[in-house]
Amino acid sequence: MNAYEWVEITLFFVVLLALIKPFGTYMARVFQGERTFLSPVVVPCEKLIYRLCGVNRDEEMGWKRYAWDMILFNLVLFVALFAMLLFQHLLPLNPQKFPAFTWPLALNTAISFVTNTNWQAYSGETTASYFTQMVGVAVHNFVSAATGMAIVIALVRGFVRRTTSLLGNFWVDMTRATLYILLPLSLVAAPVLVSQGVIQNVSAYKTVSLLQPASYDKPKLDTRGNPLMDAKGNPVTESDTVSEVTVPMGPVASQEAIKELGTNGGGFFNANSAHPYENPTPLSHFLEILLILLIPGSITYTFGLMVGNTRQGWALLGVMLLVLVGSFAVLQGAEVSGNLLVTRLGVHGANLEGKEVRFGLAGTSLFEVATTGTSCGAVSAMHDSLTPIGGMIPMSLILLGEIIFGGVGSGLYTMLAFAVIAVFVAGLMIGRTPEYLGKKIEVREMWMSILTILTAGIVVLVMSGIAMITPSAVASMANPGAHGLSEVLYAFASMANNNGSAFAGLSANTNFYNLLGSLAMILGRYVPAVAVLAMAGSLAEKKYVPPSLGTLPTDKAPFALWLTLVILIVGALTFFPALSLGPIVEHLAMLGGN
């Protein structure tokens, strides 16, 4: 890294850390129903929504009803989006006259956005109408993030409350998360992004003449539209000249803001945050990374405030920062060293395949670790073209379970499940009673924590295994050998952990990946979510155990280090064999020169 990059990265973390306390405090006030500076504007809207929708905001729910309402709401979201995609051709705001989604693609896409995954087996600019983007997927960007926040707040209440079965009201928590947090921030962020060049309009696509017409080889098609092949099986081409191109338009900025803020990550365009209309300048890049990490980082402080000891929150944030910065260092190091096989051809400089010039190398590396440490999955570089070790970093961050900052809400609740396990294991090793935040950790909490942290891992390994023995799934790989395995492993890791980024060479719009992937996203989202709520219910019913000499202090550095180790050990034990067959073998092959 050069001196400028050191300053840039340092500046980023200074800004992020400076925002955590004020923003975390604000979120705590929102979820505890206290007055905030937005109350004069938002309270009337909030009351109106509750009245119109028949929600009694003083009515509290036990964990079962909270979980049921969450699932019911997500079911409604799914049905609505699925229908919207299937009938896209009949809906308004479709200046390019895009046809309907095919049903497997619509199913996959609807589940993907409802589960906060935003895996995209389609290219936005050639498939999705403005209505689909704006009224369809963008709405889910808000509510899927709000759902995650509601769940984690219920879990925190489980720790805080004593001998009760009540965890709060799902509708109220979800509505507050949207109206007080996601919407105002998006309203501020979107115009700033526009100022940098992110587009925001509903015009038809524009035709632009090229300054210098370009000739290219066009594949010849037969009468049925299939590519013609010569005797050797190579495609037959003819020369063609292109003198004008079509430039896609759209309401991009409004979607871009919530896409990062809600750790959704579904791009308006196929190139996602690498597209100059989604991310035009280094400043927009900086802001987008900040938006990705802002809520998952600040909510650790919200947690600390709510449990009455902010150091509990800082300890978790410390774990996240440690792993994030370490991952950044490895990724940046690998990309600066470049691709040996390319360097040997007489190319000098770092690995720039699949990267944009304007962001700079360090900025790009920071975006990629932020987007995979959280469950965002937006990309400003193509992960498929990172060096083998570089590409292993985003994959590993996803495989750890989306806890390094993690998804909005889902990151903290998964991290808390890890903390419960760390407390329990430490308790076994040093003979202390397993307690966390004044609540005894017993069989039920352990079961629910294990379900939370292992579901995605099991799904990834089983489904990648199935893909490896399915010829049609193997045929989707774009790159041969070890890298092909990495593509498939990354795809299921991304879907099961609700990330949404990809080693995008994989042709994922096939029935196999659309359908099996849908299942991965559902299991990866709802099994942990319900398990967490069940744990919250059981914790809330327990009595408070005041800390004694036998209590392991969980708000100090030794525990943070221990928790980091537990996370890394669980990750390594689960995935090391798979990673050694993918990126690690490829790295060795690169060093060996073949």
Residues 396-425 that bind another protein (CB under 8 A): none
Choices 221-229, 251-259, 454-462, 563-571; region in contact with another protein by CB under 8 A: 251-259
Residue 197: CB minimum distance to another protein, A = 5
- Which residue's CB is nearer to another protein, number 201 or number 433? 201
Residue 71: CB minimum distance to another protein, A = 9
User: Whose structure tokens read 């759209």?
Assistant: 250
Residue 537: CB minimum distance to another protein, A = 17
How far CA 231 is from CA of 89, 197, 274, 475, in Å, comes to 40, 49, 39, 22
- Which residue's CB is nearer to another protein, number 208 or number 573? 208
Considering only 109, 118, 127, 255, the residue that binds another protein (CB under 8 A) is 255
- Which residue's CB is nearer to another protein, number 33 or number 558? 33
Any alpha helices (H) in 87-224, and if so which ranges?
103-114, 124-127, 130-131, 138-160, 170-176, 183-196
Considering only 175, 332, 455, 514, the residue that binds another protein (CB under 8 A) is 175
Of 575, 528, 520, 588, nearest to 119 (Cα)? 520
Of 32, 556, 588, nearest to 309 (Cα)? 556
490, 383 in Cβ contact below 8 A?
yes
Residues 132-151 that bind another protein (CB under 8 A): 134-136, 138-139, 141-143
121, 509 in Cβ contact below 8 A?
yes
- Which residue's CB is nearer to another protein, number 171 or number 418? 171
Q: Please tell me whether residue 513 binds another protein under the rule CB under 8 A.
A: no
- Which residue's CB is nearer to another protein, number 422 or number 579? 579
- Which residue's CB is nearer to another protein, number 470 or number 479? 479
- Residue 521: alpha-carbon gap to chain centroid: 12
Considering only 181, 274, 419, 522, the residue that binds another protein (CB under 8 A) is 274
Q: Please tell me whether residue 372 binds another protein under the rule CB under 8 A.
A: no
- Which residue's CB is nearer to another protein, number 160 or number 336? 336
Residue 577: CB minimum distance to another protein, A = 20
In the beta sheet, which residues pair with residue 200? 251
Residue 492: CB minimum distance to another protein, A = 17
Residue 415 token pair: 């991290």
How many CB atoms sit inside 10 A of residue 204's CB? 12
Q: Amino acid identity of 407?
A: G
Residues 551-580 that bind another protein (CB under 8 A): none
Cα–Cα dist 420/19, whole Å: 27
Residues 308-367 that bind another protein (CB under 8 A): 338-339, 341-342, 345-361, 363
Residue 437: CB minimum distance to another protein, A = 30
- Which residue's CB is nearer to another protein, number 173 or number 435? 173
287, 191 in Cβ contact below 8 A?
no
Residue 501: CB minimum distance to another protein, A = 12
Of 529, 312, 534, nearest to 443 (Cα)? 534
Residues 21-60 that bind another protein (CB under 8 A): 49, 52-55
Residue 227: CB minimum distance to another protein, A = 12
- Which residue's CB is nearer to another protein, number 446 or number 589? 589
Burial class (CB in 10 A: 0-12, 13-18, 19+), 32: middle
Q: Amino acid identity of 475?
A: A
Pairing assessment for the beta strands 439-440 and 435-436 based on DSSP bridges: antiparallel
In the beta sheet, which residues pair with residue 248? none
Q: Please tell me whether residue 264 binds another protein under the rule CB under 8 A.
A: no
Q: Please tell me whether residue 464 binds another protein under the rule CB under 8 A.
A: no
Cα–Cα dist 594/588, whole Å: 9
- Residue 336: alpha-carbon gap to chain centroid: 26
Considering only 32, 165, 237, 281, the residue that binds another protein (CB under 8 A) is 281
Cα–Cα dist 389/393, whole Å: 7
Of 154, 189, 365, nearest to 261 (Cα)? 189
Q: Please tell me whether residue 269 binds another protein under the rule CB under 8 A.
A: yes
Residue 576: CB minimum distance to another protein, A = 21
- Which residue's CB is nearer to another protein, number 111 or number 249? 249
- Which residue's CB is nearer to another protein, number 67 or number 523? 67
- Which residue's CB is nearer to another protein, number 150 or number 306? 150
Cα dihedral angle (464, 468, 470, 473), rounded to 10 degrees?
70
Of 78, 318, 52, 284, nearest to 171 (Cα)? 52
Residues 467-486 that bind another protein (CB under 8 A): 478-483, 486
Q: Please tell me whether residue 123 binds another protein under the rule CB under 8 A.
A: yes
Residues 78-117 that bind another protein (CB under 8 A): 80
Q: Provide DSSP, 158-188.
A: HHH--S----B-HHHHHHHIIIIIIHHHHHH
Residue 27: CB minimum distance to another protein, A = 19
Determine the size of the site formed for another protein (CB under 8 A).
131
- Which residue's CB is nearer to another protein, number 194 or number 473? 194
CB contact set of 553 (below 8 Å; sequence gap of 6+): 547, 559
**Binding-site string for another protein from residue 195 to residue 234, where x marks contact by CB under 8 A and - marks none:** xxxxxxxxx-xx-xxxxx-x-x-x----------------
Q: Work out the angle between the directed axes of helices 282-306 and 252-261 (0-180°, nearest 10).
A: 40
Q: Please tell me whether residue 171 binds another protein under the rule CB under 8 A.
A: yes
